[in-house]
Structure 1
């Protein structure tokens, strides 16, 4: 007889063990009908398949728990109890909650997002970074995010496991990294906790970090300009400007991924059409002024208005609020 797969709700490992015990109990029951049904179930095993029901019942005193467990495995679609046990343990093992981890980062390091693993893997090979899953999507981050998550990018386990979380080169190294991330998940409070006083070591480290970021900002200022988030499913577009265009695009992408309704219509279409239908574009770049005292916000406003006039991203054409009519 072939393997019979149980198409009902998947069982837990403990439930499977209980079913095996109940099968053995039914096999030795005084109720003939119940014992016969149990004997029929045992005939899914190769060692009992050629026996008649009477022959199975005649041998019931020699039937062991391992036989009952094997029956349950067959009924759940697995060839052996070992296969079923391994599958259930893998299914029920704690999974790293990347959504919870990233909710604490603010999206600072979420550089490249992809709707398919193939695209993400190709980008990883070309540009480097670290590839992780997120819901039905994938992202590639820089080492800074690993440090923010409490992982050391210089940890030898990253060299052993490789930068692709979904295709580790070393299973043991990957398992150790996974345990560290699981521990980090457990350390994150369900609700935000009160921040440490400014005199704490954490606050001092934070101030030092801000100083480093300010210095880096001055030496390598981010790209300023006008950006667009374009929906290729219906042609709608969002136009905006920012002093830090890459950071703003990362923020918008992160908010959409986290279902944050800052722009409700955009979020609704994101969920309706899927991330793969959207692109994040730089429309125009504002070069850093050479002379001091330039109002960058005003320069950006003028540049943004030029693109708003050109694209008119209002109503059915976009996600921007229509301009106010002069009264």
Structure 2
């Protein structure tokens, strides 16, 4: 039995014991991370360089790409290092830093997706008031609020989680540091405070989800009232990338954390954690680029000079 004051490192979950599969995992994560870095980097450069994209929607997309890059750079490098060098250790401070940045970027991404939903709602349901409700200053303030709220939320969770006494060893049942895995190592009844904090965060997240659901109900009602089929198609096409990214983000996270205990197994938990922590940041820029002609034109113009 170890105490948290004497812990110097944690043991992460090994993807596999076979050396060939470890190397395959390394190359797979390397390909995903390079694809995510390239795609998100192109979006950041295109939005920053093309003055036609200096609008609230693309400003929020730029912030979303920053959070995607943050998620990838927080989780993937350590997993690649452990697979390449056949190790599972992570230092105590390294684990705390990884948990802080992962919760931070994940929270900011969810808040940004909520703001982007509001952007689509105003653009479709209240187009005459778009400049008033979502001017450059209002958009910057909302984005800043998302980053500040994500920072505060992550700071509280990290400080609270690592203040708990840990007396169940140091082996985490996950390939990166996350709150549920660390709570399993805490002493009995010592994690009630953190569960309360998680409950508050869940209420905030559920409130955002209700707002998103209500907004899309209003959006679909407004779109269906558009007389021309071309107009309806154009309105739907502006919402589809956001709805796809949001569904991918929320569905994988909910299933990973709320699945029945009978379905839990190390291999399934590992696959689900990859789905909600690694794949969305890599797929988000692809989803937005495929359905957005303005963004594709800006990227093409930037690459061809």
Larger RCO: Structure 1 or Structure 2 (Cα < 8 Å, ≥ 6 residues apart)? 2
- Pair member with larger Rg: 1
Identify, as 1 or 2, the structure richer in helix: 2
Using the size of structure 1 for normalisation, the TM-score is: 0.23
